[in-house]
Structure 1
């Protein structure tokens, strides 16, 4: 059985749509990659700064609120203060965190790197993402293999496509990794 690896690469973090005080309307906000850190007496606040795409006004997304600085850890605190790009991106890409914060997000732009193949051939497809993702596995497969919904559904009906663990391919979300089998049974079935 041939094994293929696809990597989902995000071109930018998800855009947030929210009301901008400066514009007076709902606008797109883009992550600046900067943190705002404020310490008052024995409490620490940390925000991730977003900018309005129209007026460049800012909106601060709360990361930590009124926490004891000793509970954060010196390395993490240093990364906030120095505006660590990787840390900012990890927060900006975390769709669950953004949803808990009440942010209305638009899907992030992405590309899928990896070889195309014939879905009729026995293939083990491993799809990976550096960040947890709510992208549907079916959508990724259809886009990358240029399959119509009708053709994809026909493959599902014939049992040609199966996910490891028996999850429903049509509804499964990527997370950080998904393994899909084509024209073969998944191990343990």
Structure 2
């Protein structure tokens, strides 16, 4: 984790176009951005697209970074919004995936793999809410802003997602 002062300096330098500062931010935060994007999109290629988009536009986006939260927290929000935008675009185009998406990630415990598979069975709407709430820790109010739904709809989707996961994981 980058110390706060260094983080602020790197953010200012990257916003001014300093490639070395941008590289340092990429090295520090790319894994986290990829993880958020992968959880939301359930696709390594889509997560890589989100990662690329976040860092390509980061110098411009950093100009609106107000430093009220840590850069990591802010980048999580940026990555979440970018992933949700990609999901919406995919839904509008009604893409049909060709072939299996084989994620490249380190081996996990069987329970984690089972949970990831169960999450993949959820609709995009339910998966987005459960990941944003349970994994990323956002409130229903924040989720409602990201997804452009009401906090009540967010809570209802979370309830349906949990029930679906219980049913899927209970079948094992």
| Shorter-chain TM band | under 0.3
TM-score of the two chains, using structure 2 as the length reference: 0.24
TM-score of the two chains, using structure 1 as the length reference: 0.22
- Larger RCO, structure (CA 8 Å, separation 6 or more): 1
Larger radius of gyration: 1
Larger fraction in helix: 2
